[in-house]
Structure 1
Amino acid sequence: MFLKDKSHGLYGRGSRRSRESGVGNPGGEHVENFTFFNPTKIEFGLGKEQTIGRHLSEHGVKKVLLCYGSERIKREGLFDVVARSLAEKGVAWVELGGIVSNPVISKVREAVSLGRAHQVDAILSVGGGSVLDSAKAIAAGLRYDGDVWDLFVGKAGIESALPLFAILTLAATGSEMNAAAVVTNEETREKFFIMSPALFPVASIVNPTLMRSVSREYLVYSASDVIAHLIEGYFTAAEHPKLQSRLVEALINTVIETTEALLVDPEDDDARGQFAWAATLALNGLTSAGVSGSSWPNHAIEHAISALFNVPHGAGLSVVMPAWMKWSLSRNPAQFKRFAATVFGVDTAEQGVAALEAWFDKIGTPTRLSQLGLGETQIPAIVENALGNVGAFGIADVYTRETIADILTNAL
């Protein structure tokens, strides 16, 4: 999923030639030059987790750092399945549990020290996006002599990383098939990203039945996260070919349909499978191929909220998205009108934004800062933090202090 030439790809820096600058051709015919590269093997389906030992042994792995979050994987038997598969192929492992949602750099540092002490030669993530993003940072940190946070703040580049493998237990971030990771520094309250071709997982296993125990809250937060990945480029790109717009719209419609189905029947594995695959496709580079001038303002602003107040990422995004869309309507009216008609079957751009906000309300993910326990008094701190993020994303010229404050005010 590495996109080059005029396309900035996943979490790439924004372009001044963007729809937000009043230039571009959304929903048009032109496809920009691009290079598409995604080396990750996806193993999708029932029982695929039983093959993880084979995948590691085929790549010469002798000892792996096995990363996970809560003890849920042990209670539900997944840990035993993984351990047995590893043992059958002669792969030793070292455990690292306790990775939290909104993963933190202190845990990554702990893991790097543990990995060095045990001389592991690969990383295995068993969990959702937080575990996998941490695993990517660990994989890079084990090939870097300095502090791993240097890689997030630009003091050093990622030249290589240990081989990375994943078993997914929650679908949302798309990290299983992309080359990026996001981690929070809890001391400085900065939530930054890293990106490198070295961070593509070698193989990721996606078994929808492993996601049955995902809570209702995290299901709807995940839906918000996936939609945010899709709408960033869709609305901000200077060039967004019709084919790419159609891909985005199809994926959003799939997320909406399957989320509603899973809220009715959490054991609907067919719906869960489509949801999971949509989440992967939303951020593996496919939808941004041939697109240029896109940016990531919703993520830049939300990262400030979750860095400061530790709210679930998807919950923060469902607050930011409608607020940002109301601010952005006039900058891309044709694409907003297309979204309204294609996704929600309504006539005007304004109705489309209202329909998305209403859908978030319907499924129970927040749409107001107050639902996160925040209000007007917290806006200055969020703005100040977000200024660092918009700089990292290359969009500080558009997202000034005043603009970010205006967007957040829409969420009161």
Structure 2
Amino acid sequence: MNMENFTYQNPTKLVFGKDVVDQVGKESIHYGKKALILIGKGSVKSSGLYDRISTHLDAAGISYVTYEGIKSNPLYNNADEAVSLAKEFQAEMIIAVGGGSVIDSAKAVAMGYYVNHSVWDFYLHKTKPEKALPIIAVLTLAATGTEMNPFTVLQNNAEESKRGFGHELLYPKVSFLDPVLTFSVPQSYTSYGVADLIAHCLETFFGQGDAPLSDHTIASIIRLAIKYGKIVYNDPTDYDSRGNIMWLATNALNGTLALGKQNGDWACHAIEHSLSALFDIAHGAGLSIVFPAWMKYNQRYLQSRLAFLAKYVFDVNEENEALAAYEFIHKLEEFFTSIGTPIRLQEAQIDELQKDKIVDNLNRYKANGLHIKLDETAREKIVDLMYA
């Protein structure tokens, strides 16, 4: 395999550090004077962050309305409701305050503002946006990297489907990353975020293409995520560790790791989307179950790649690639367990009676990788390994 040609441009302005959210008014005024604020279920208000942001918007002369209630597995229905509110208010921008679910929903609203159909049509790839409202992101959970990429994922409960969409119009204009805002994130969701950022690295790593710099950067990000993930698990107010986790998550999916590669694989995300759609499991929790199973099933194809990770992530100096591959998977599972993320479906209260339901959903939506292809037999065996 050869290193692929690439062009790289990331238009998001990222503002990182303590108290940077106090610049939200100054930055937002460049995009208009009327904003739709998008938030989750209330923690942004109870923490005082909403009032803090409101004060700075008031000072900048920006008026706003708020849509509250975005779920951790965000629903297209909520995005459609927020579009209606934005249109009624004639919003000129969206200010998303929350984690990946809120920012992903903001991206849906941004492109839905200019059309007369449900945002779900974008995720079904029936159409593409021609324009979108500007997005300002205030990140409160380190996980998805959505604060510096053009991707969004929403869920349709009626169809038991979770789908992604990407477009260059969906990069946030400005993203604020203050590690202090993540101090209050529950321990479980902090750990799910760490699992999520590691999964993003692995999806890219197992894609097609020869990009040594990306490979070594990926190994370094995973190694650091493990180091700081352990610290944050035991000391949630450690600023430096929170800051490093936040920046690692951004870099795991802001496009740089994919440079020189033809694609990532993304089968594990496709499989996890079925788990979220069926059981409303947290995305990172689902990924910490799916990835070890997927690696075990494909180990014979991935031995040299897994051995590379064993060496550069866990300092495993084993000449036998099969043993080194096993060690990487085993040590990654040990880490996930140490920070409280599940590695088997039973740990997520999904018993074996649900196996057929999971396999049927995977086959219905043809969960597959861009590089390593999965047929119906492979999907079923991976589900078996998620229970084993």
Per the alignment, residue 40 of structure 1 pairs with 12
Task: Sort the Cα spacing of 1:202 and 1:38 in 2 relative to 1 into closer, same or farther, 3 A.
Answer: same
Structure 1 spans left out of the alignment, 5+ residues: 1-24
One-letter amino acid of the structure 1 residue matched with residue 336 of structure 2: F
Per the alignment, residue 382 of structure 2 pairs with 407
Are 1:272 and 2:242 counterparts? Answer: yes
Q: Give the Å deviation of 1:75.
A: 1.8
Q: Give the Å deviation of 1:238.
A: 2.6
Aligned residues of 2:271 and 2:367 also touching (Cα < 8 A): no
Q: Distance in 1 between matches of 2:338 and 2:350?
A: 21
Task: Sort the Cα spacing of 1:105 and 1:254 in 2 relative to 1 into closer, same or farther, 3 A.
Answer: same
Aligned residues of 2:270 and 2:367 also touching (Cα < 8 A): no
Aligned residues of 1:69 and 1:98 also touching (Cα < 8 A): yes
Per the alignment, residue 64 of structure 1 pairs with 35
Aligned partner of 1:355 among 331, 348, 357: 331
One-letter amino acid of the structure 1 residue matched with residue 340 of structure 2: G
> Normalising by structure 1, what TM-score?
0.90
Deviations 1:173-229 (A, max 9, x none): 000000000000111111001110000000000000011001110111111100000
Per the alignment, residue 330 of structure 1 pairs with 300
Per the alignment, residue 286 of structure 1 pairs with 256
What SS does the aligned partner of 1:410 have?
A: helix
One-letter amino acid of the structure 2 residue matched with residue 295 of structure 1: D
Are 1:88 and 2:59 counterparts? Answer: yes
What SS does the aligned partner of 1:239 have?
A: coil
Per the alignment, residue 103 of structure 2 pairs with 132
- What is the number of residues matched between the two proteins? 381
Aligned residues of 2:210 and 2:260 also touching (Cα < 8 A): yes
One-letter amino acid of the structure 1 residue matched with residue 238 of structure 2: D
Per the alignment, residue 254 of structure 1 pairs with 224
Q: Distance in 2 between matches of 1:392 and 1:193?
A: 14
Structure 2 spans left out of the alignment, 5+ residues: 319-323
Q: Give the Å deviation of 1:389.
A: 4.5
Aligned residues of 2:266 and 2:370 also touching (Cα < 8 A): no
Per the alignment, residue 4 of structure 1 pairs with none
Per the alignment, residue 213 of structure 1 pairs with 184
Aligned residues of 1:104 and 1:183 also touching (Cα < 8 A): yes
Aligned residues of 2:148 and 2:172 also touching (Cα < 8 A): yes
> Normalising by structure 2, what TM-score?
0.95
Task: Sort the Cα spacing of 1:392 and 1:37 in 2 relative to 1 into closer, same or farther, 3 A.
Answer: farther
Per the alignment, residue 48 of structure 2 pairs with 77
Q: Distance in 2 between matches of 1:219 and 1:195?
A: 25
What SS does the aligned partner of 2:246 have?
A: helix
Per the alignment, residue 68 of structure 2 pairs with 97
1:151-230 mapped onto 2 (5 Å cutoff)? 151-230=122-201
What SS does the aligned partner of 1:125 have?
A: strand
Deviations 1:365-412 (A, max 9, x none): 0000111111333222222222355468657x9211211111111111
Q: Distance in 2 between matches of 1:385 and 1:143?
A: 32
Q: Distance in 1 between matches of 2:128 and 2:367?
A: 18
What SS does the aligned partner of 2:257 have?
A: coil
Aligned residues of 1:124 and 1:165 also touching (Cα < 8 A): yes
Q: Distance in 2 between matches of 1:391 and 1:311?
A: 17
What SS does the aligned partner of 2:41 have?
A: coil
Task: Sort the Cα spacing of 1:381 and 1:77 in 2 relative to 1 into closer, same or farther, 3 A.
Answer: same
Q: Distance in 2 between matches of 1:116 and 1:393?
A: 38
One-letter amino acid of the structure 2 residue matched with residue 176 of structure 1: E
Q: Distance in 1 between matches of 2:127 and 2:29?
A: 31
One-letter amino acid of the structure 2 residue matched with residue 381 of structure 1: K
Per the alignment, residue 386 of structure 1 pairs with 362
Aligned partner of 2:351 among 375, 385, 388: 375
Aligned residues of 1:224 and 1:318 also touching (Cα < 8 A): yes
Are 1:149 and 2:103 counterparts? Answer: no
What SS does the aligned partner of 2:256 have?
A: coil
Aligned residues of 1:327 and 1:407 also touching (Cα < 8 A): yes
Structure 1 runs, 4 residues or longer, greater than 4 Å off: 388-395
One-letter amino acid of the structure 1 residue matched with residue 247 of structure 2: W
Q: Distance in 1 between matches of 2:367 and 2:233?
A: 38
What SS does the aligned partner of 2:3 have?
A: coil
Deviations 1:80-126 (A, max 9, x none): 11101111111110011111100011111110111111111111100
One-letter amino acid of the structure 2 residue matched with residue 356 of structure 1: L
Aligned partner of 1:238 among 176, 201, 208: 208
Q: Distance in 1 between matches of 2:26 and 2:33?
A: 12
Q: Percent identity?
A: 38
One-letter amino acid of the structure 2 residue matched with residue 40 of structure 1: T
Aligned residues of 2:267 and 2:370 also touching (Cα < 8 A): no
What SS does the aligned partner of 2:35 have?
A: strand
One-letter amino acid of the structure 2 residue matched with residue 37 of structure 1: Q
Q: Distance in 2 between matches of 1:133 and 1:392?
A: 22
Task: Sort the Cα spacing of 1:146 and 1:392 in 2 relative to 1 into closer, same or farther, 3 A.
Answer: farther
Q: Distance in 2 between matches of 1:41 and 1:168?
A: 13
What SS does the aligned partner of 1:165 have?
A: strand
Per the alignment, residue 321 of structure 2 pairs with none
Q: Of the two structures, which has the highest relative contact order with CA contacts closer than 8 Å and spacing of 6 or more? A: 1
One-letter amino acid of the structure 2 residue matched with residue 383 of structure 1: V
Aligned residues of 2:74 and 2:155 also touching (Cα < 8 A): yes
